């Protein structure tokens, strides 16, 4: 090969074809051609070493014989080598393009991986904080916005001429409806911002109401006051949140403690039953409404054991039916210790006369402006409701009233200013306050006040005299209702 190299470089290249010239120039630069050249070199050497016949030659002036030999290109596959070179170049370009795509895919995968990590962190944070919102929250928002829209429409009709403030409020409320619809389909956790806007608009609506002379403005009654003529209406439900233990814990009770001496104090309690709907084992306390909403600074306690969702809290003590007995228990919330245990005489037990649709609520405690009550049935009353006023310190029965209302036909009950109010279901979305018994006059009565409800079953109702609010446990959700009282007619 080396000798051939010397020989080829000494040849007159003008005598060779174009393909051969390219081959000679490339052979020492491109290693791939070496292998193709080897066979041709062998043939070339063979021809060079063979004698040639009929070759014309001449002598030069020095007497040296000169002759020329024609070597055809067909002994070397030049065209095939050129095609191979083109194919190799094409494959090299394709490979570079695919390698570039792989680099792009790798960069994209790294970006998506980081996004997934960030999303995982957000989900873990949400799981830890347990703050979430469901379809109920958005339905409530829509109800509140509809109510504001109705109110501002009334304002427009009662004002003479045009009023820019009312017109602006109307436009903002319409825009708020669109925002809520968008949030419902996109990001439900922005609901807090919308709630703040709703509160601001509600305050402005109240200011507009105050500015006009209304003859039907509800009379204000101070906390703990009984200077009214009873319930005349009830607000729309306000869903606060799902209980902290989750949706499976459908039974239970919740409310705000009533301190007779300091009614402005805040202490909120939540007592969901276990999933069997009977056993009361855990409860939580919150020192403010904000803590309740955000699940912050909760004091979680365990008791052994309560039964049913008839629990009530009064003056920093929890009252409940002790498990599998007709005994009443008083629990000190500061120490979580049972300080008093006393039997309720003749009370039915063992799910004998519980409320309709709610099991194990044979004994239902209630709080009003005057203190602690208990609602129950006895065998002697054949299942009709019996009301007893209790000494909250000793749990002694001070006075008892028997009604003619069958307890298992009532869905729940509460007491305001010594008047028992009983409810019954109308359908899956409405409840009716239909029956009253006034312990002051021992008179029964029939009324009809419709309560909208978010889910089908109301497990408990607790009234708080501090804010004239009903605290309702509705299939695991904590719901509030504001009460409107009628003034006493003189």
Quick one: the chain helix, strand, coil %, rounded to 5? 35, 30, 30
User: What do you get for the CA distance between the two ends of the chain, in Å?
Assistant: 131
Tokens of 343: 């039997």
Q: Quote the pLDDT of residue 391.
A: 97
Q: What is the pLDDT of residue 186?
A: 59
Residue 261 has a pLDDT of 87
Structure tokens at 313: 């809290």
pLDDT beneath 50: ranges in the chain: 1, 6-7, 11-12, 16-17, 28, 30, 32-36, 48, 52, 130-131, 213, 215
pLDDT at 63: 77
pLDDT for res 130: 47
Report which secondary-structure segment, H or E, holds 125: helix 78-129
Task: Please give the model's pTM, rounded to 2 decimal places.
Answer: 0.59
Beta strands in 235-349, from DSSP E residues, in sequence order: 238-242, 252-256, 268-272, 279-286, 299-314, 317-322, 327-332, 337-343
Confidence (pLDDT) at 129 = 58
Q: Dihedral (C-alpha) 151, 140, 231, 150: value to the nearest 10 degrees? A: 10
> What pLDDT is stored for residue 305 in this prediction?
94
Which of 63-83 are b and which e, b meaning 16 or more Cβ less than 10 Å from the residue's Cβ? eeeeeeeebeeeebbbeebee
Residue 130's CB: how many other CB atoms inside 10 A? 13
SS3 476: coil
pLDDT of residue 203: 77
Q: Which of 277, 390, 288 is nearest to 330 (CA)?
A: 390
């Amino acid at each position: 090969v080396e000798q051939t190299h010397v020989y080829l470089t000494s040849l007159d290249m003008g005598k060779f074809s174009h393909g051969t010239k390219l081959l000679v120039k490339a052979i020492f630069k491109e290693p791939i051609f070496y292998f193709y050249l080897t066979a041709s070199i062998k043939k070339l050497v063979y021809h060079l070493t063979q004698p040639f016949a009929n070759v014309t030659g001449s002598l030069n002036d020095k007497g040296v014989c000169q002759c020329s030999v024609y070597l055809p290109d067909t002994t070397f596959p030049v065209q095939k080598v050129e095609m191979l070179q083109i194919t190799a170049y094409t494959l090299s370009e394709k490979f570079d393009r695919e390698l570039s795509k792989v680099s792009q895919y790798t960069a994209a995968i790294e970006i998506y991986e980081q996004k997934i990590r960030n999303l995982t962190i957000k989900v873990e944070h949400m799981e830890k904080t347990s703050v979430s919102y469901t379809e109920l929250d958005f339905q409530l928002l829509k109800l509140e916005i509809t109510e504001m829209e109705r109110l501002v429409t009334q304002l427009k009709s009662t004002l003479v001429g045009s009023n820019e403030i009312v017109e602006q409020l109307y436009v903002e409320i319409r825009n708020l409806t669109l925002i809520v619809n968008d949030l419902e389909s996109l990001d439900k956790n922005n609901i807090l911002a919308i709630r703040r806007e709703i509160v601001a608009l509600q305050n402005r609506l109240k200011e507009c109401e105050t500015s006009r002379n209304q003859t039907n403005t509800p009379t204000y009654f101070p906390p703990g006051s009984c200077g009214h003529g009873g319930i005349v209406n009830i607000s729309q439900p306000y869903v606060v949140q799902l209980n902290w233990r989750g949706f499976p814990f459908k039974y239970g009770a919740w409310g705000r403690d009533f301190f007779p001496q300091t009614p402005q104090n805040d202490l909120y309690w939540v007592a969901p039953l276990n999933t069997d709907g009977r056993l009361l084992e855990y409860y939580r306390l919150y020192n403010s409404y904000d803590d309740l909403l955000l699940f912050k600074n909760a004091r979680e306690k365990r008791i052994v054991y309560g039964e049913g969702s008839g629990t009530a809290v009064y003056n920093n003590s929890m009252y409940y039916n002790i498990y599998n007995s007709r005994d009443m228990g008083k629990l000190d919330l500061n120490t979580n210790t049972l300080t008093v245990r006393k039997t309720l005489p003749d009370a039915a037990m063992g799910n004998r006369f519980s409320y309709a649709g709610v099991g194990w609520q044979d004994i239902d405690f209630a709080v009003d402006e005057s203190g602690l009550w208990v609602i129950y049935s006895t065998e002697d009353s054949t299942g009709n409701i019996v009301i007893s006023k209790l000494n909250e310190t000793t749990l002694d029965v001070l006075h008892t009233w028997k009604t003619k209302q069958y307890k298992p036909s009532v869905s729940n009950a509460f007491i305001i200013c010594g008047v028992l109010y009983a409810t019954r279901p109308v359908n899956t979305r409405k409840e009716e306050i239909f029956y009253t018994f006034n312990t002051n006059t021992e008179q029964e009565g029939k009324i009809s006040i419709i309560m909208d409800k978010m889910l089908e079953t109301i497990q408990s109702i607790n009234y708080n005299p501090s804010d004239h609010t009903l605290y309702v446990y509705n299939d695991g959700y904590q719901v509030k209702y504001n009460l409107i009282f009628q003034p006493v007619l003189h």
